[in-house]
């Protein structure tokens, strides 16, 4: 049992740690929102989406995406368009220096954007299916659920901690220059992900023609 828990914690932490659009977006919302509470929609959405992907991977349901080429193509095409749009909005937005919040993301937009960078991220899908899903096959019964819950716990703690770190960084950046740099980085990462997804999508076309 403890072996499964430790394995799940280490594996999930290793997968979630690298810099990506999801992490940058959660951090940036923690930094630019006027309070930690106002950034909770992005934290909860990212954690819930990761939990969903982990559960689908462990249960084997997510393999449907890999066995239905048309569904995979549809997801990738939609992801490309949405990531391009998200990158544009984040690039255009500016940090606010007062409490007017006119340019801050609303809770609805936070949820929509966090869900898109979580569920339309090919790396996240492949990591959960190929790594977490495959690793879970080594366990059964209570040990398998302990492994799964350990992976889920890492996601929830990580996104909350990332948002808190963003909040602390935002409180220290009075000029807003650091947050603007973070927004630019986030937009570039999303555009880069969109280009990568489009390249993968078109690379499969010759074999389908």
Query: In the predicted model, what is the mean pLDDT of residues 6-22?
Result: 78
Which letter does DSSP use for residue 106 in this model? P
How many domains are contained in the chain?
Answer: 1
pLDDT for the residue 87: 77
What does the pLDDT look like over 86-142, one tens digit per residue?
778 777 766 554 444 435 778 888 898 888 878 777 667 767 776 787 788 788 888
**Higher per-residue confidence, 170 vs 61:** 170
Residue 101 sits at the vertex; the CA angle it makes with 177 and 21, to the nearest 5 degrees, is 55
Which of 2-11, 53-62, 109-118, 163-172 shows the lowest per-residue confidence on average (mean pLDDT)? 53-62
Which letter does DSSP use for residue 102 in this model? T
pLDDT for the residue 102: 39
pLDDT for the residue 155: 92
Cα(47)–Cα(42) distance, integer angstroms:
8
Query: In the predicted model, what is the mean pLDDT of residues 3-8?
Result: 86
Q: Which residue has the tokens 């996601």?
A: 155
Residue spans of beta strands (DSSP E) within the chain: none
Q: Which residue has the tokens 């890999």?
A: 66
What does the pLDDT look like over 140-155, one tens digit per residue?
888 989 999 999 999 9
28, 166 in Cβ contact below 8 A? yes
Cα(77)–Cα(94) distance, integer angstroms:
28
pTM: 0.74
Cα(74)–Cα(16) distance, integer angstroms:
25
Task: Please give the structure tokens belonging to residue 94.
Answer: 């500016």
Share of the chain above pLDDT 90, in %: 16
Query: In the predicted model, what is the mean pLDDT of residues 163-167?
Result: 90
pLDDT for the residue 149: 94
Domain hosting 141: range is: 2-208
What does the pLDDT look like over 46-80, one tens digit per residue?
999 999 989 888 887 656 665 667 766 776 777 77
Cα(5)–Cα(146) distance, integer angstroms:
6
């Amino acid at each position: 049992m403890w072996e499964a828990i430790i394995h799940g914690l280490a594996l999930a932490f290793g997968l979630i740690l690298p810099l990506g659009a999801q992490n940058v977006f959660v951090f940036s919302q923690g930094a630019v929102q006027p309070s930690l509470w106002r950034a909770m929609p992005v934290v909860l959405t990212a954690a819930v989406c990761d939990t969903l992907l982990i559960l689908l991977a462990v249960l084997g349901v997510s393999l449907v995406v890999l066995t239905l080429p048309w569904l995979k193509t549809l997801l990738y095409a939609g992801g490309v368009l949405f990531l391009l749009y998200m990158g544009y909005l984040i690039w255009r937005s500016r940090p606010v220096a007062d409490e007017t919040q006119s340019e801050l993301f609303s809770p609805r937009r936070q949820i929509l954007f966090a869900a898109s960078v979580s569920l339309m991220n090919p790396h996240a899908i492949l990591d959960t299916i190929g790594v977490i899903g495959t690793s879970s096959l080594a366990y059964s019964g209570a040990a398998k659920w302990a492994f799964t819950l350990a992976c889920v716990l890492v996601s929830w703690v990580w996104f909350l901690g990332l948002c808190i770190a963003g909040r602390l960084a935002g409180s220290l950046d009075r000029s807003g220059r650091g947050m603007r740099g973070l927004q630019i980085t986030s937009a570039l990462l999303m555009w880069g992900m969109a280009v990568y997804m489009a390249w993968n999508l078109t690379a499969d076309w010759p074999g389908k023609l």
